Amino acid sequence: MNAIEFTAELSGAATLSIPRDVAARLPKSGLARIIVLTGGDADEAGWQAAAYEQFLRDDPPEDAIYDSMG
């Protein structure tokens, strides 16, 4: 599966325009999987940043016992 990413301005219409340079890179036939991502609200962005920061932190010393299991 190949991914081609681009941004588009939403206008409230029931159609989404694909830029010409992107359309030229698409296959001429076949199926395509379309995923539309839109910006979240400020609270969601803050939550995601905090979750990512927590994920990158080192484990506390009391969790080191789990490193020897396996």
Domain ranges in the chain are 1-58
> Would you state the structure tokens that stand for residue 54, as one six-digit string?
């927590």
Alpha carbons 42 and 61: distance in angstroms, whole number: 33
33-49 burial code (b ≥16 CB/10 A, e <16): eeeeeeeeeeeeeeeee
Condensed to tens digits (0 to 9), the pLDDT of residues 19-54 reads: 999 999 999 999 999 888 887 666 677 778 888 888
Condensed to tens digits (0 to 9), the pLDDT of residues 2-20 reads: 889 898 888 888 998 899 9
pTM for the model stands at 0.47
